[in-house]
Structure 1
């Protein structure tokens, strides 16, 4: 029996001693990234002016808005960089363009983005977009650990890297999100972050600090992670969670390498890491891993 836990990662700590998997945000499948040098409000929906209206419209449409900026010296805006994308399933994508004003975003088809349809808003983006949370006004630990990590990754990977607002899971700072697939990594030092980025650039994941894939229920993330570890399946698209059902004990069917597994995970309460840290408190215990009809998908 394997134990799948969330981190006991208190604000101000950075031990990396425990795994963070099955903790990626479950609600983010579609994305709107808007370059904004700051200052950033505590919550993105508190942004004022026309850009604030765009942010709130995105949230209402089911698209996750993130404010982004370059690490270090930041260019004045406008123009500002904008990305839209979709990270669920196999058909993941990003589009990007520069905008001269918030008015240029008024025609963005947010309903199409939320549904996973390319809106033709900008040019296809064929390189990863790497987001490091540095949202100090939301949680000081994100700035303390995220800002230096963003600087280091920028020195290595240049324009692929952006600082960003809250991505979920402050207790796992420093956090990294790899788009377009929506892969979340947490509790990162430089070595772990570089390993995650290098893996993503070759189309793989690394399991050590992988929190999960955005948009999947946490039990599905737990099942996927366990199957990846069991099979040694690191390719980003190698594993598919076909279904998940249950309430406190969950049963997932997971496809990998032409085989299907039934994975049973049980949810138990975890401990908060502080009075202000109430995210990602579930712990998952893997109760069973059963190989189903191996030949069914061959």
Structure 2
């Protein structure tokens, strides 16, 4: 699949020219993925049919869980049964569980309050394989359908059942977008080579910094600080970064963060800056990005 060169109304957009670091959604720490082939409304909370799925979406939002509708790329099966996943991506104890439900009404039995707190909602045993979500939500944003749908087909050809199309994941201006669960790693502005590099890295327990938007469920400032320290140290393991503590830098417009990487602590000073939307109002979400001003190793004696 070739990378797109525009959205139809804005030639030259989505070409990898805009930095996408520290742009993953801050609120998604727990996830409920429900198979629904469509049609998808503009916003997932507007879903009306089927009623059990719509009710589960509303209940998840009310409980503080991120609901995502999912479907297979290309040819889609009629449902039920429906595939359902629950995932928790906060901290080091991440997990995902899932199973098929013969009756969508069984969604009502899930304990979404437990899921929001990082506990099983009752879907069964935890899974050992990841799930890859590709945003293909055309009614929300045309760029996502134009770039996401073909990318989902390409990834499905390589990674099979691990791949699903999904509704809006944030960052329309970075279409095509990929989310790797259970860690909640978000990548954007992807063509096929970049997406496969990200998926392959995730399967071997690493991140790829190119096109990495960040980790969902953490603040943008923490995402930025982690990104800069990983770039500085070359530490790409999923669990290499164990702590990020961010606070304002008094007397300045910047922020400072202490980032712990394999026992070594770094001080990072970052500032936010604005960038322009690639497609005009349709992709005009949060347009901040971050730059690093200082990066210092605090416990130099700990180096080996």
Give the TM-score normalised by the residue count of structure 2: 0.91
Matches within 5 A, 1:6-155: 11=7, 13-48=13-48, 49-155=51-157
CA contact (8 A) 1:32 1:83 kept: yes
- Residue 294 of structure 1 deviates from its aligned partner by 4.0
Unaligned runs of 5+ in 2: none
Partners of 1:133 and 1:270 in 2: how far apart? 23
- Residue 296 of structure 1 deviates from its aligned partner by 6.4
Q: Deviations over 1:55-85 (max 9, x none)?
A: 0110011100000000111111000000001
Matches within 5 A, 1:181-196: 181-196=183-198
In the other structure, the counterpart of 1:271 is 276
CA contact (8 A) 2:52 2:107 kept: no
Distance 1:272 1:15, change over 3 A: closer
Give the TM-score normalised by the residue count of structure 1: 0.93
CA contact (8 A) 1:133 1:163 kept: yes
Comparing 276-285 with 143-152, which one deviates more in the overlay? Answer: 276-285
CA contact (8 A) 1:36 1:80 kept: yes
Partners of 2:300 and 2:78 in 1: how far apart? 56
CA contact (8 A) 2:225 2:244 kept: no
Alignment counterpart, residue 222 of structure 2, candidates 184, 204, 220: 220
Partners of 1:162 and 1:28 in 2: how far apart? 18
Comparing 79-88 with 232-241, which one deviates more in the overlay? Answer: 232-241
Q: Deviations over 1:71-107 (max 9, x none)?
A: 1111110000000010010000001011122321112
Comparing 17-26 with 225-234, which one deviates more in the overlay? Answer: 17-26
Unaligned runs of 5+ in 1: 1-8
